[in-house]
Chain A
Amino acid sequence: MTASSTDLTRGGPPAGAPDPALAPPGAGRGRRRPSRRATLRLLNAVSIVGGIGVWWLLALSGFQFPTPPEVASKAVELWANGTLPEDVLASLGRVLTGFLLGSLVAVPVGFLMGWYTVARGLLEPWIQFFRTIPPLALLPLVLVLMGIGELPKIFVIFLAAFLACVISTYQGVVGVDRTLINAARVLGAKDGTIFLKVVVPASTPFILVGMRVGLGSAWATLVAAELLAAQAGLGYRMQQAQLYYDIATIFVGIVAIGVLGLVMDRLLLLAETKLTGWQERR
């Protein structure tokens, strides 16, 4: 094999070449040179500190803002008396239940739609229809039908997560490279194997993008649902605080929602990197 040596040296892995180019669905955060990454981190930090500084200045200059220390001490107080943990648990419980159920149903439904013409024909009109309606717009109806317990809130969150994820999964399945399916077929694979070993892994990036969009959508829907009807939760707490002109509590709620959303998104991103690292970035 005289040819191999030449070819190996010629075409080895691109040695450390960074590829910040557009990544396939969702995987945008490229690997860059450490120096550049450090610069970015530094700028991030400067931006955050600066932002808080501006907030502080606004608060001190007579704007009706609580100062950062006031908000921090409010957060400590709410945490200590158990209100904040309770609200966080209530909100997280709803969003995770709705989101997990939504994704769990969306993935098989998306696969059915992508794989079987009959399923696509029957399901697509309904999914396209409900996709154009913000799940919150259904809340009045859902509240009338399901009462004011946990069920209606979880249902609208479920719907938000489901719709985002199902479309993405469906598109992933439809877009699976025919050549890969043919390659599996000529290696002797039957439909079941092709589905599990080719279609599922090939559409994983799309499913994960759908889940991330779904999570964002679920989170947004949750807070709004809690503002309208709840006995606990971050949205509910902010609504109550509004009645008592308690701006510090509202700030605590906003920060908590932001941080929780960010943490969940990062976790999904981590899963995405682990599961779809094989993608060629073009």
Chain B
Amino acid sequence: MTTTTPTTPGTAPAATAKISVRDVRKTFALRNEEFVALDGVSLDIADNEFVTVVGPSGCGKSTLMNILAGLEEPTSGRALVDGAEVSGPGPERGVIFQQYALFPWLTVRKNIEFGLKVAGLGRAERRERAEHFIRLVGLEQFADALPKMLSGGMKQRCAIARAYAVDPSILLMDEPFGALDALTRVNLQEQLLDTWSRERRTVMFITHDVDEAVFLARRVVVMAARPGRIYDVVDVDLPYPRTEEVRLSPEFAALRNRVWHSVYHQAPASAGR
């Protein structure tokens, strides 16, 4: 359990970084007032690393993800992926949204094929790839069902398969399990790690759930609000695969307490819900 110094949190040698955020600031105009969503955020994520970002609401964690996804631009500072500045969304960065964002008029299979069709893949190849990812997330029985027939957990599995299908090297996940009940959530966490271990990707996973943050990540980035900034970075030295044993271990509990403290007892009174 090590922590980098608070002044340059999360900064690793830039040469190895898959994702590199440099002194990013993002402000919004809010009725004549300037709202600082992100201030001086710097973060490096290594190739194939699983990083979770946790923090109170309003800490700018979703804004940070949107900047990396290319859906928003930083007011100042730079966001780099593979050393190149992010300009707009791209298929090398898959995004999974909290609201699933499945196209309701397309079946599970067609949803998963959407990105492949955009990429110009032929019919046979699309089918084959979609089939692979349908199996990977265990939705074989529902391949031709419309999203309205699926439970929340199944919808999110479909969204994960859709993101995976276009073969992104990075997965950006914005509270993907936030709307699910606790049981489904734990199932999906295990499944996500299982999928990740078989198809390695660089993952940035946003959550407000401390348990989830510690269970999934190799590194937990704790953010603070007003202004949105990185408050702490906690290394999670627990072995993968993360089993139930790991989840119930004293080491896990210790890390969880540490992150919990960081999230809920932040130095200025800006924390807490």
Q: Which residues of B contact A185 (CB under 8 A)?
A: 71, 88-89
Residue of A nearest to B91 (CB): A188
A277 to B146, CA, bound (A): 9
Q: Are B99 and A188 in contact (CB under 8 A)?
A: no
A247 within 8 A of B: no
Q: Are A8 and B141 in contact (CB under 8 A)?
A: yes
B40 within 8 A of A: no
* Top 9 closest pairs, chain A to chain B, by CB: A11-B151, A4-B138, A3-B187, A187-B115, A183-B101, A188-B91, A186-B95, A278-B105, A13-B149
Residue of A nearest to B166 (CB): A187
Query: Which candidate, B52-60, B77-85, B188-196, B251-259, is the interface stretch facing chain A?
Result: B188-196
Q: Which residues of B contact A3 (CB under 8 A)?
A: 138, 187-188, 190-191
- Using an 8 Å CB-CB cutoff, how does the interface string of A1-27 with B read, 1 for contact, 0 for none? 111111110111100000000000000
A177 to B137, CA, bound (A): 26
Q: Are A187 and B118 in contact (CB under 8 A)?
A: yes
Q: Which residues of A contact B118 (CB under 8 A)?
A: 184, 187-189, 193
Q: Which residues of B contact A193 (CB under 8 A)?
A: 118
Residues of B within 8 A of A (CB): 69-71, 88-91, 93-95, 97, 99, 101-106, 114-115, 118-119, 137-139, 141, 145-154, 157, 162-163, 166, 183-184, 187-188, 190-191, 194
Q: Which residues of A contact B95 (CB under 8 A)?
A: 182-183, 186
Q: Which residues of B contact A2 (CB under 8 A)?
A: 190
A278 to B91, CA, bound (A): 27
Q: Are A11 and B154 in contact (CB under 8 A)?
A: yes
| B93 CB → nearest A CB, Å | 7
| B246 CB → nearest A CB, Å | 15
Q: Are A279 and B104 in contact (CB under 8 A)?
A: yes
- Using an 8 Å CB-CB cutoff, how does the interface string of A221-241 with B read, 1 for contact, 0 for none? 000000000000000000000
Q: Are A180 and B184 in contact (CB under 8 A)?
A: no
